[in-house]
Amino acid sequence: MESSGEGEIRRILVAVDGSPQSIRAVRMALNIAKAVGASIDFISVSELSDIPTLMAEAQNEQSEEYARLALGMSMKLALAKGVKAEVVLRKGHPAGQIVRYADEIKPDLIVLGSRGLSGARGAILGSVSTAVSRSTGYAVLIVK
C-alpha cells in the first residue's frame, strides 16, 4: 500500500488487550475507519514472563489466551461495522512489539487504551500507551 497523503488516514493500527479502555479504543478506531474508509490492523501482545519456568509457562498460556480473545472480539466488532481488518498476535514486551509492528506496516494512526490489563505492574513500569507514544513517530491516539 502506498503511503497516504499528509493528514490522510488510510491504515490504523489498534493495540488490544480486552480491557475496558482497549474496547473503547477499538470502538473509536472503528468509527474513524468507517468515516474515512480506512482499514485496521489489530495487534495484541502476549507478554513473556520473568518468573520461574513452570509458573511462567502457565502465565504465558493465559496471556496468549487473553490476547486471542481480545483479537477475536475486535475482529467481530470490525465485521459488524463493515470495516476491513486484520489481526496479528506477537509475543514479548507490549510497547516494543507494537512499535516494531508499526514500523513494519507504517500506519497513519496508532490507537490504544490509556490503561490495559497490566494493572499495578503498569503503574510501576510505565504504561504501554505512554511508551508507544514516546517511541514512535506515528500519530498516536490514546483513548481514556
Between 105 and 56, the more confident residue is 105
Task: Give the domains, in start order, of the chain with CATH numbers.
Answer: 11-143 (3.40.50.620)
Q: How many residues does the chain have?
A: 144
39 pLDDT band (50/70/90 cuts)? Answer: very high
Tens digits of per-residue pLDDT, 66-86? 899 999 999 999 999 999 999
Q: What is the pTM of this model?
A: 0.85
Tens digits of per-residue pLDDT, 17-29? 999 999 999 999 9
User: How many alpha carbons fall within 13 Å on the CB side of residue 42?
Assistant: 30
Please report the sign of the dihedral spanned by the C-alpha atoms of residue 24, residue 115, residue 58, residue 91.
Answer: positive
The helix/strand/coil state of 23 is helix
